[in-house]
Structure 1
Amino acid sequence: MKYEQLAKDIIENVGGAENVNSVVHCITRLRFKLKDESKANTEVLNNMEGVVTTRKSGGQYQVVIGNHVPDVYKAVVSEGGFQAAQPVDAEGGEEKGSLFNRFIDMISGIFTPILSVLVAAGMTKGFTALFVAIGWLDIEGGTYQILNAIGDGLFYFLPILLGYTAMKKFGGTPFLGSVIAMALVYPALEGIPGANEPLYTLFAGTMFESPVYIEFLGIPVILMTYSMSVIPIIVAAFFAAKLERSLTKIIPDVIKTFVVPMLTMLIITPLTFIVVGPIATWASQLLGQATIWVYDLSPVIAGAFLGGLWLVFVMFGLHWGLVPIAINNFAVGGIDPILALIFVHSFALAAAILAIWIKTKNEKTKSLSAPALISALFGVTEPGMYGITLPLKRPFIFTLISSAIGGVLLGIFGTKGYVMAGLGVFQVPSFIHPEEGLNGAFFGAIIALVVGSVLAFVLTYFFGGINKNEDTGAGSTQPVAVKGAQNGKDQVIGSPFNGTVKKLADIDDTAFASGALGQGVAIEPAEGKVVSPVSGTISVLFPTNHAIGITSDDGAEILIHVGMDTVQLDGKHFTAHTEQGSHVEKGQLLIEFDGQAIKEAGYPLTTPVVVTNQDQFEISTINEQEVKAQDILIELKVK
């Protein structure tokens, strides 16, 4: 990790991890809440390479870093084992937004490190199925067996990879998460239900009837299939990381290296089997019973329910409660409506990915979209769901909506499956009636496919927010890469609002006053509107809307920070009129703020306007005077 040593040095000199109540970051600095500020070695920190300065304000111990603060923050969280905050606030870093958004951010963050191999495996799995379908491969042959192992192996052992990435995200030891996951997918345990008679059955005669094949210390263990699952290992990793940190504090150093991981595994792994297994199993059974009840009530409602939520069921592993019902339907009556109602979901996902592929400006997203699209068409949805649509949120929601509408149409047309088939394009032949052939129900499935796909494409393309904060995820403060930023030209920077110019050195913030964060001026604003001082791209917009970074079309990187310590207002009194990644014209309204309310809250409105890539320019600023918005404020000449 690039900033690993810097992070270690910072933690050590703020009094160690045990002295930290919380740490968050704003646009330029780490903001620690320390148990005892007297333990912080301010002199060492001030002289540390990579640290601009330190500052104490508002009950926070601030370590000023500059433009690289998001990367340093990640390293500090990782090295200190702290709970990671997402977009930070002034009260301790709890991520804002709905529970749904926070859940999606967590899931997508855990999957990000494995996206490339996930997509590659999905492509391999999809093409292998295609080659079998068109007769190029025999499922009994060795070529198929090896290709299937390559494509399917990652998905089967997915919990092992997720154990690593989840533990890393939650601040635990990554390999410990993988070892816990290995126990969950241990083949011998998965084979027990088919090998012996159950010891006894819990809740016999109810929908929660569960055979028990093994016990742990006399406690019944209800086994489920953890291979290809997602949520169980993430839950296990979350609690494992917390337990590991607690044990680290109390276990003596001389035995800590092996005793902490041993105790963590011995406690968390059995608890996962004993608690997560039953919950997931019963939830799956309940879902299966509920689906049959809803279908008997109305195929249309069942179509909306199953079609709209199938991807969510897959995410939680609940779909395993429906697959046995479908298999039984085929075995008993040769016909099944359950899996037929989910037919549209993979095509809706593929259409949403296609819209993203066409519209995205993010090269990484574009490169991942093509193989994820192909995988989705072949019924392998994980790469597109976890890697493309889920992180962007809206496309994922639009996929669910479109799949639900497709499910409604399938219910209206009475579409059913007559053979057990794969998903995606491989499911189409299953709708051919054995006697009637291509009947109305079959064409109804095609209509549902077209409607769901077109709807998903249109909604995602026009309303998916595809390029909104896409480079770093919604709400991120990581700067957007802007072409030309390293090739500056002579240019002038206008004033972002009416006000009075003062010297940067005279303001009450040593980080800005020293010029370490950039050369420029400060302004006492006379009105509550910030306009763009140049034509360029919004490279940073902090979630609290109090600070904004702009990269001009000619390569200057400009930071406007409204007020002093106004991050602690947590966005109150600020309204943004642009978004990160947007191109703006000079004079365009960027932010509005209530200056009077901010002053009454006790925060100065003095606003630094600085050029952060000052090493590329000779910078001239105007003297202290009154200015109007767009008046020349700073002149730049390329060195």
Structure 2
Amino acid sequence: MDYEGLAKEILTDVGGKENINTAWHCATRLRFKLKDEAKAQTEKIENLDGVVTVVQSAGQYQVVIGNSVANVFEPLSKLAGLGNGGESATTTDEPVEKDSLINRFIGFISSVFTPFLGAMAGTGVLKGLLTLLSVTGVLKETSGAYQIWYAAADGFFYFLPVFLAITAARRLKVNEFVAIGLAVALLYPNLVAAMGGKTQLDFFGIPVVSATYSSSVITILLAIWLLSYIQPVFDKFFHESVRNIFTPMFSLALLMPITVLAIGPLGNGVGTVLSGAVEAIYNVAPLIAGAIMGALWEVFVIFGVHWTFVPVITNTIAVSGHDPLQPILTVAVIAQAGALLGVFLKTKNTKLKSLSGSATLSALLGITEPGIYGVTLKLKKPFIFAVIGGAIGGAIAAVGGAQATAMTLVSLLGVPTFIGPGFMSAVIGLGVGFVIPTVLTYFFGVPAEEQTTTDLNETVSVGEQLNAPIQGTILPLSAVKDPVFASEAMGKGLAIVPTNNDLVAPADATVAAVYPSKHAIGLVTDAGAETLLHIGIDTVQLDGQHFEQFVEQGQKVKAGDKLVTFDRAAIAAAGYDTTVMMIVTNTPNYTISETPETEARNAWVLNLKAF
């Protein structure tokens, strides 16, 4: 391959160096910030020998090359005068992406709630179970056991501002302990008593509006956001010898009165408006509201905008003590489980039956992504039937006044939190939402080709076998949220939603490519398969943060050797998809078959038979 010649052609076809603001590369793509993308000759670039395809996304003009991208970028950077001949400082320093306000908001909400969402959901389930035990007479509310368990269930929600302070401080890169200090000050018993007393509290004559900050969301998030502007000012003002003491002291001294005098009333006011708006919508048009949310919830999940509802739900419970959204959203989740069950009952394809069966159980517990991307969205009709079932069931739950008394997972586990007014409408809505997609999918949703038997014991012509590079749930590449990987433009392979943090070699191989961003590894196996292991979607933007690399280019590795360790939770909290892709980039040399299993363990997942 003439990399220099290819670089010259790409440079010419993107409009020349005068049309380039910045350029860099990740594991597989040349990424340009062009002054005018209209000047780029996309069709001509896509037809160049050595170019896989072109993707225009997130304000970037991306030319997909594959594992040899660094070889193309080096001469391109020299020709365009981008820096020192493609050295690492030039090739991988990606400019900060100025994302849209909506995307930044979703990323922020996701990052502050994700770390403790499981714990909060667990305490919500416990609270629902205690309600069930109380209603059935098994436990009295005055009993010691009930009060101890209720403290465990309600304590998390009461001190929610503290947990939000921690995660928001991490996201906004401010002192966590100052943030915690501010949160606990708002919940300090003496202050709570003074603000709730008959005599109005004041700050040097300025009246303090009485408010309750336990379980609140908006106030602490606004306060930590303001801290992210105040702290740098004090850091610059104070000498480093006293900065560690004076910056926290003055930050708290300034921010606490601002919070109780202005931010708190503003946050509580916004919270009251949001809660009132939610209540008003469901009081005025519950049928329409329930149908819309029941139908579209899983669509929101696909596009990642479902996070915007988390603070709304949490705030509504804090203000009014109940939430009408969760029963409806649970119907939408259970509808996906029904569609998956319909596929499981109908298909005779062993691999699809195994995937849909395990995905049904996951969906009932609130995890729908494996089922959506691996089954219902792929087959199309089951997803549509789930939307229909969610709309009808959601409307029934809303009209009947179903509501949740605690924040928890939208799953069957959360049903005990629905006990109270409208409980039977929630049960009926869940039943209808489950049965409709199950029946429709069984009779009309599974294509004829998926109704034929695929024998797991069928003889496979064994060639080179690549083991799973990580443990997790196996998905087809078509389910990946990246058009280049999903279209198999770079080669065939598979995706794995990881359940651990260690990426290992799938076979005995030589490390062909490593990247300072550490999010991808290129291997050439001893049998000649060129393999790309790519961790996450767009994780090159993390610039190596949350990744630790254990190999170097040219190093020999054995199957199972650790290549990279990464922090799944931190990457997800930063708003990135952590799905791992394994791509055979010299696919034309092989007939490739996938394992029939749905879980990636210490076994082969791709079988490569050379032509």
TM-score (norm 2): 0.48
Computing the radius of gyration from Cα coordinates, the structure with the larger value is 1
TM-score (norm 1): 0.46
